[in-house]
Amino acid sequence: MKQYRETFNDGFLTYGHKKTQRSATGKRIGEGFTSQGKLAFKEMSCRDSDYQLAGIMGASLDLKVKTPYPPSFRNINKNKLKVVIENTEYDVIRVDSDREKTVLFFHLQEVGVVNE
Which residue intervals of 7-64 are DSSP H helices?
A: 48-56
pLDDT digits (tens, 9 = 90+) for 53-110: 889 988 899 999 999 998 888 888 777 889 999 989 999 998 988 888 889 999 999 9
pLDDT at site 108: 93
pLDDT digits (tens, 9 = 90+) for 25-48: 888 887 788 888 999 999 999 999
Q: What is the pTM of this model?
A: 0.83
Greatest pairwise CA separation for the chain in angstroms: 62
Cβ proximity of 67 and 104 under 8 Å: yes
Show me where the domains of the chain are located: 11-113
CATH topology of domain 11-113: Thrombin, subunit H (2.40.10)
* Residue of 103, 94, 92 lying closest to 49 (CA atoms): 94
Distance CA 114, CA 95 (A): 22
